[in-house]
Structure 1
């Protein structure tokens, strides 16, 4: 009887996790908060959740983490959180993270990001809690300058030269 109850509880929590993450959540606001399913309790196994975050036109999205605890793996091949600079998984990866170190704050180059959380079938942890805010886009650079993702400007000839002139390596991304 106890085994049947446990099995029912596991099946219920797994189906709840699937219904929570069945479709991408669309968050459209100047700011907000989101977290892994079940946070601060452990997230479920075999889960993929996506949040498409859009802030007002002309603004950029900043994602900051309040807490972060995912299964650790040097290549983040088990449980991971990925932030894409746009609304598709084909867009540039701003961040790929796992483990328990709180990731750095991340800023997009447009007003939309896609956040994808994935867990595998084994170890689960508390997950993450994050906030998003909108911020002004940096001033545009001159015609002979490249705009780094940090908002700084560097000479256009400094792109694709193998040197991290921007400080975030964005001058080397599309080479």
Structure 2
């Protein structure tokens, strides 16, 4: 019998990665729209490998009333010759404050400035403006941003309390992205603490552990039955029986 555990480990690993994945949206698919922010997500500039020229795209992230929005640029490849991404506090480019300078360059360069830990809104809205030179061909791969809604407390039981006193959804803790702005939602995981995991993740981990145990128990039961069957077959093999006459004949 061949029974191996790597398949179980692979299934469990895939489940864990899937459970940690954030929803991904593409900015060019939502130009001029308002994108609701309930917990957190990932915003990528475009679905294609490289962004096109002639873009003038605005997108507003909108959280629930009383909450704020934090965004962090995690990858960037925007040509600085006429292309840029601008971040505004509020729901309009015309009426609200530009945060820092327009962003361009690459992740390896210091071509853009941010506040410590990313950008933070002053209201429940934040607007992004992505512009590319109409005369240029595709110059870069664009950007990837992680965003999250937060408030300043007191935190509810369904929230994770950051070290900087901000409150983000507990479902965002330990997902390998900094949603707090100080990385405290990930640091606790590095230290081995799971006390701040959301209920959904805890339930998921328990279910995953139960599935693994069931696989192991099933494999062990099958192995035991297989061994018993082999032992029964050996015990039922015909034995050589000598009669008294044959035995005496052999002795002579």
TM more than 0.5: yes
Of Structure 1 and Structure 2, which has the larger fraction of its residues in helix?
2
Q: Give CA-to-partner distance per residue, 1:82-121, whole Å, 9 cap, x none.
A: 1111111121001321111375310011110110101002
Task: Choose the corresponding residue for 2:78, options 70, 81, 102.
Answer: 70
Q: How does 1:93-132 map to 2 (within 5 A)?
A: 93-95=98-100, 96-101=102-107, 103=112, 104=114, 105-120=118-133, 121-123=135-137, 124-132=139-147
CA distance in structure 2 between the aligned counterparts of 1:49 and 1:36, rounded to whole angstroms: 10
Return the structure number with greater strand share.
1
Structure index of larger Rg: 2
**Match for residue 58 of structure 1?**
66
Deviation at 1:20, TM superposition (A): 3.9
Match of 1:44 among 52, 59, 67: 52
Is 1:34 the equivalent of 2:40? no
Runs (4 or more) in structure 1 with deviation over 4 Å come to none
Aligned-partner Cα distance in 2 for 1:60–1:118: 25
Q: Distance in 2 between matches of 1:58 and 1:86?
A: 13
- The normalised TM-score by structure 2 is 0.42
Gaps of 5+ in 2: 1-27, 155-163, 166-252
Work out the CA distance in 2 between the residues paired with 1:113 and 1:37. 19
> Separation in 1 of the partners of 2:149 and 2:35?
12
After superposition, the CA RMSD in angstroms is 2.5
1:19-60 C-alpha deviation (Å, 9 max, x unpaired): 846x41321023222111235x11001112211101121111
Given that residues 94 and 108 in structure 1 are in contact (C-alpha distance below 8 angstroms), is that contact kept between their aligned partners in structure 2? no
Q: Determine the structure 1 residue equivalent to 2:86.
A: 82
Partners of 1:70 and 1:87 in 2: CA distance: 24
The 8 Å contact of residues 63 and 106 in structure 1, kept in 2 or not, is answered as: yes
